[in-house]
Amino acid sequence: MKTIDELLTEGVGGKRVFVRADLNVPLDGTTITDDGRIRAVLPTIARLAEAGARVIVASHLGRPKGAPDPAFSLAPAAARLGELLRADVAFATDTVGDSAEAVVAGLADGQVAVLENLRFNPGETAKDDAERGAFADRLAALADLYVGDGFGAVHRKHASVVDLPARLPHAAGGLIATEVGVLKKLTEDVARPYAVVLGGAKVSDKLGVIDHLLEKADRILIGGGMAFTFLKAQGHEVGSSLLQEDQIPAVQGYLKRAEERGVEFVLPVDFLVAEQFPDLKTKAPAHPETVRADAMPAGKMGLDNGPETCALYASKLADAATVFWNGPMGVFEHPDYAEGTRAVAQALLDSSAFTVVGGGDSAAAVRILGFDENAFGHISTGGGASLEYLEGKTLPGLAALED
């Protein structure tokens, strides 16, 4: 896989360089609530601009349905990128139309432009190869070189991720090179003990990675809504907690395999529970109660790990040499249910392990709860991409950069 370092050595001055970034930031209206993904790609964009390239940045944001939708405009991300670069950043109001052509034509050496949301064009996400290819052809006409640095999208077979690099000389950006290097530390010659913490709402989202990590991890800690399917599989009542009954047989199989392989499976021993989901807009006090995991009352739902579980998980992470964490332990967006997630983050900081926070809600939680991002070994920008890599899948966007 050619890297941006090699590209810069060859020279990019005066060349139009298309950077496929991941600017899929969370928005409250037009206000960015977490700019982590913009900051992650910033070094690649800055290095290209400093070397005299005419940088064309493109990304998706959200899930518009193949047509322009102001709610998913990349204009706020372009503005924030300009603030971080401390330079004017031009913004094209379309992807391959008149505005994009004019904005790119107007770039001078060292200047940066951002195209509007790639998913405003149906060709970006089309299942049909010819439709994706036609869109990629129009994108390729805007540039001379391609740099893939949108790690959060490399598991998608989309035009700008897979088809476009096939049409231009290409290289991997600094972010993708870093992400792949970190993931190799989690899959090849891993420092042990190797502990994995998995949370989030649905166990079905994590089945593939659990299956693969049972062959690699020494200890797997389960939290969040997915924990209740595991507890139900062990015969415990879960009240009105989130439950995927159809996944119980698969979970029982994993528990059996873990026992046979000597992999320690750790489940919550207590929870904070309430009769209803908290109000995340007002953050009104929820007044939860603590119950044992094997004594969940009918009509109550578990919404966070309890204090005994927080202490248990901290102890299970204390001696680890490598930790991968993906998924919050509870409804961390509400202050009454943030402690379980906070305790895991703190345990990672307190350990001497190489710690990887696997993107998505976990990365957001680290920032929302006020932790120093630099204190962790690595915070990924791609939750889904990280999980699929750890499942052993071939990621189309990485494969496209390898030839």
Could you give the residue numbers annotated as active site?
Answer: 37, 202, 360, 384
Does the annotation place 302 within a ligand binding site? yes
Does the annotation place 225 within a ligand binding site? no
Does the annotation place 22 within a ligand binding site? yes
> 3-state class of 148 per DSSP?
strand
372, with CB counted inside 10 A (0-12, 13-18, 19+), is exposed
Rounded to 10°, the helix 36-50/75-85 angle is: 60
Does the annotation place 61 within a ligand binding site? yes
**340 Cβ contact list (under 8 Å, min separation 6):** 223, 272, 304, 305, 306, 309, 310, 328, 329, 330, 332
Distance CA 277, CA 286 (A): 9
Does the annotation place 236 within a ligand binding site? no
- Helices of type H across 188-273: 207-213, 227-233, 248-261
Four-residue CA torsion sign, 73, 74, 78, 81: positive
**112 Cβ contact list (under 8 Å, min separation 6):** 45, 49, 55, 57, 81, 82, 85, 87, 89, 90
288, with CB counted inside 10 A (0-12, 13-18, 19+), is buried
Four-residue CA torsion sign, 286, 289, 292, 298: negative
- For β-strands 170-172 and 301-305, DSSP reports them as unpaired
Task: Tell me the C-alpha to C-alpha distance, in Å, between residue 232 and each of 63, 132, 253, 331, 403.
Answer: 34, 44, 13, 20, 47
Does the annotation place 315 within a ligand binding site? no
Phi, psi (5° rounding) for residue 378? -165, 140
Residue that is written with structure tokens 């993708």 in the block: 176
Does the annotation place 23 within a ligand binding site? yes
3-state helix, strand, coil in the chain (%, to 5): 40, 15, 45
Does the annotation place 138 within a ligand binding site? no
Does the annotation place 63 within a ligand binding site? yes
Does the annotation place 16 within a ligand binding site? no
Does the annotation place 397 within a ligand binding site? no
Does the annotation place 13 within a ligand binding site? no
Number of residues written out for the chain = 403
Distance CA 308, CA 390 (A): 30
Does the annotation place 367 within a ligand binding site? no
Does the annotation place 106 within a ligand binding site? no
Phi, psi (5° rounding) for residue 235? 95, 10
Binding residues for substrate: 22-24, 37, 60-63, 119, 156
Binding residues for ATP: 206, 302, 333, 359-362
Binding residues: 22-24, 37, 60-63, 119, 156, 206, 302, 333, 359-362
Binding residues for (2R)-3-phosphoglycerate: 37, 119, 156
